[in-house]
Chain A
C-alpha cells in the first residue's frame, strides 16, 4: 500500500466538477514544467508538460497554466472522475539536461 502523502494538502471535488490543482515553483530560471499523477501503490505517471515560452497547454480533459510572473503553475481537470483520485505532483527543471525537481504534491479526492 501507499506509505506517502498522508500529510499532503487535499482537494475534495464532486464527480463531474472541474478541479484546479495549484503549484508554486521556486526557481525563476526553470523553463520546463511537468505534472505527474500518482495512484496508490504505483509510480508517478506523466500527465502533461509545458515550456516557459507558453502560458497554456491543453490535453485530453487537462489544461496546464503557467504564470511566470508569480512562479505559479496550475493543473485543471475537466469533468473530474473517480479515476482521477490520486496525488498530483508538479515538477520543474531548466536547461533541459538537469533532473526534475518535484513539489510535495496535492491529493485529489473525488466524491461520487
Chain B
C-alpha cells in the first residue's frame, strides 16, 4: 500500500482565497483524521471521521474550515476564506477501527502558506 496520500504537498495562496486540501487514506482504514501542526500549538486535531461520518469536529477553529468525506477513499479539508494565521502544515491520518484505532498512519502533509 502507498500509505496515506495528501495533495498538494505545498500550497501558497493569498488571503481571502479558497484552499482545498486532499487526502486518500489507506485502503481498509475506517477512521480518518485531519490534524494541523504549528510551532506554537503543536499537533492539533481538527476533525475525524468514522466510516465517512464526521464524529468530532470540535477542533475545527472556525466556520471558515469545513471537511468532507464523500467516500471511503477520499476526504477534503477546505478553508474559505483563508487567512495568514491559517499557515501551518496540515496532516491527514488514517487508522483501523477497534482496539487498534490508536495507531495512526500519517500522510506527508500539506504545507500551507497564506500571504
Contact = CB atoms under 8 A, between A and B. Distances in A.
Given A3-B89, A3-B111, A46 B104 contact: yes
Majority SS of interface residues in chain B?
strand
B42 A43 contact: no
Contacts, number: 56
Nearest to A97: B101
Contacts of B107: 43
Nearest to A103: B42
- Using C-beta atoms within 8 Å of the partner chain, give the interface range for chain B: 20 to 34
B93 A93 contact: no
A4 interface: yes
Nearest to B37: A4
A30 to B, nearest CB: 11
A44 B48 contact: no
Nearest to A92: B102
Contact of A100 (B56, B102, B108): B102
Q: Give the secondary structure class of A's interface.
A: loop
Contacts of B111: 3
Contacts of B48: 99
A27 B93 CA distance: 23
28 contacts: A3-B88, A3-B111, A4-B38, A4-B39, A4-B89, A7-B39, A32-B102, A34-B102, A34-B103, A42-B108, A42-B109, A43-B91, A43-B106, A43-B109, A44-B91, A44-B104, A46-B103, A46-B104, A49-B102, A89-B43, A96-B101, A99-B33, A99-B48, A99-B56, A100-B102, A103-B42, A104-B42, A105-B42
Interface of B: 4, 33, 37-39, 42-43, 45, 48, 56, 88-89, 91, 93, 99, 101-109, 111
